[in-house]
Chain A
């Protein structure tokens, strides 16, 4: 179906239909809409950057000190249709946690929803959860649980959850290291470490850069030499000036003598 862009003209169109006899009876909403016509076009259109800037410049006071006194219906900001701002305590706690621990943002997060997990009610009695990976969100949810169930202030609850998180993280990291050591002791041989892998990747790029740079240098040199030979041919070899007086000196011993 074609996008209905003329929703604002609904009254106009209906009145035409009534006049022509296409509609025999006035719709119930007809008088109401006539009294309170729609002021905002609700269809979503792609806004170009220039258009936005143009509108912004209109809002600025004019240089001639003349101001718009009449409000046009399409310029009127109607908050009725604007979505409400949602404010949750979680957002504040999340912001605080990630600003205090910016490197936690470096742990990748999977945003693909899992319906089975989504409908589960999780009990945040402990910070460890079976279905949810440990991340900053665990601290946020645990803080909310402590706030509800324990008699602590918001910041104290947050700090408690934060230290619990640290503890579990320390445990996880130690376990990972120990398991790696254990497997090494049992004879496991590991492939290249991540540092080495990264180093080799860099090496590849540097080698490529070196090849490109060499090719570019050769090209430059070739151009330069062709230009100089062309210039020599034009001016002739006899014009070449001996700036340093090198022709008269036979060897470096002469330089030393002079």
Chain B
């Protein structure tokens, strides 16, 4: 097998290079490096399939590699798998991840941002359509100009079809506004005809102006679909009750940690802080276990996952109403299962009486 083939087939080549922005790494909103695992036998030898074996002191099966080789000829790594556990824990919440787009991104949405309508196309600048910005080198601009010169003939033909009046004005030496036609023409050319007009594909995932990621789908976090109910021997349920912990008790900034993610604490929980303290005598507030029900998870534009949680009354397990901007939805199915239980009890009592 040639080296080329061997390299392309190797598993090491499947790892994305970790040249990500430091801001992304430090924010820790989403993973920036591939988590690498190893089997038990290889782990015994501390062999992770990297350039060399890792030190024998490593006792974690999951590592994150920064650089395969450095000037000291060593592999930089860190034993970290927090994001992996986050993903697994989120699956236990039994809720889908929502995005801000109207349509489900798992079924709709192309990689290339096609202008939605004619108006959007007309308002976009010519430089935008040509993928030019401040960072474009001059050589690239000159190259583009040369390419555009070749399209002069086809543009005139395009103009004669679309707007012949303007063509006549140009021919007779009069001024005329051509912005809309130019953007439309360039857009019609893009990708199919001229490869030079194409944006490099690896740059499509970041918004250059804001520096924010353009995530597609759910960003790979969860593939659960909406409207799925969980069946259990106790009936249907939507979502599940999980233990949470109060992490910030600054009055204007109550925060709760659930399954490795952070959410704004529901008001009701905050109101019953005295009760929580009474139930946990001699404990610090952070030690207290607060049962919550995760209601909603939203993928925000900066890539962070925002949770919305509701308080749960620990005595009778009924969800407490919480007053905030989230759309509170009554849990019909849980109520239904409760009603059926009550009616079943009543029937049993009646039957016992008859006998």
Mask: chain B, 234-246; 1 = CB below 8 Å from A; 0 = not: 0000000011010
> Which listed residue (A46, A52, A135) contacts B73, Cβ 8 A?
A46
Check B201–A154 contact: CB distance below 8 A: yes
Check A113–B10 contact: CB distance below 8 A: yes
Mask: chain A, 90-105; 1 = CB below 8 Å from B; 0 = not: 1111111011111111
Evaluate whether A49 and B84 lie within 8 angstroms (CB atoms) in the complex, with A163-B107, A193-B92 already known.
no
Q: How many A-B residue pairs have CB under 8 A?
A: 206
Shortest Cβ distance from B176 into chain A, in angstroms?
33
Q: Is A202 an interface residue (CB 8 A)?
A: yes
Check B31–A105 contact: CB distance below 8 A: yes
Mask: chain B, 99-115; 1 = CB below 8 Å from A; 0 = not: 00000001100111000
Check A111–B201 contact: CB distance below 8 A: no
Task: Kindly list chain A residues whose C-beta atoms are within 8 Å of the C-beta of B345.
Answer: none
Evaluate whether A106 and B31 lie within 8 angstroms (CB atoms) in the complex, with A101-B220, A111-B11, A137-B14 already known.
yes
| A102 nearest in chain B by CB position | B30
Secondary structure at the B interface, as helix, strand, loop or mixed, is: loop
Comparing A62-70, A74-82, A170-178, the segment that makes contact with chain B is: A170-178
> Which listed residue (A112, A193, A196) contacts B38, Cβ 8 A?
A112
Report the contact-size class of chain B (Cβ under 8 Å from the partner). Answer: 35 or more
Task: Kindly list chain A residues whose C-beta atoms are within 8 Å of the C-beta of B84.
Answer: 106-108
Check B49–A155 contact: CB distance below 8 A: no
Q: Is A199 an interface residue (CB 8 A)?
A: yes
Check B30–A103 contact: CB distance below 8 A: yes
Check B202–A105 contact: CB distance below 8 A: no
Q: Is B32 an interface residue (CB 8 A)?
A: yes
Kindly identify, within residues 83 to 139 of chain A, every residue whose CB is under 8 Å from any CB belonging to chain B.
86, 88, 90-96, 98-113, 118-119, 135-137
Check B15–A111 contact: CB distance below 8 A: yes
A59–B56 CA distance with the chains assembled, in angstroms: 40
Task: Kindly list chain B residues whose C-beta atoms are within 8 Å of the C-beta of A107.
Answer: 35, 84, 87
Mask: chain B, 67-111; 1 = CB below 8 Å from A; 0 = not: 000011100000001011111110111100000000000110011
| A203 nearest in chain B by CB position | B287
| A210 nearest in chain B by CB position | B284
Check B34–A113 contact: CB distance below 8 A: no
Check A92–B201 contact: CB distance below 8 A: yes
Check A119–B89 contact: CB distance below 8 A: no
Q: Is B163 an interface residue (CB 8 A)?
A: no
Task: Kindly list chain B residues whose C-beta atoms are within 8 Å of the C-beta of A47.
Answer: 71-72
Shortest Cβ distance from A161 into chain B, in angstroms?
11
A153–B197 CA distance with the chains assembled, in angstroms: 14
Task: Kindly list chain B residues whose C-beta atoms are within 8 Å of the C-beta of A136.
Answer: 14, 16
> Which listed residue (A86, A99, A110) contacts B202, Cβ 8 A?
A99
**Nearest 5 Cβ contacts at the A-B interface:** A111-B49, A101-B220, A99-B205, A108-B37, A104-B220
Name 14 extra pairs, CB < 8 A, besides A153-B191, A195-B242. A95-B202, A96-B204, A99-B213, A101-B216, A101-B220, A103-B87, A103-B221, A108-B84, A110-B49, A111-B11, A112-B38, A158-B111, A173-B222, A177-B224
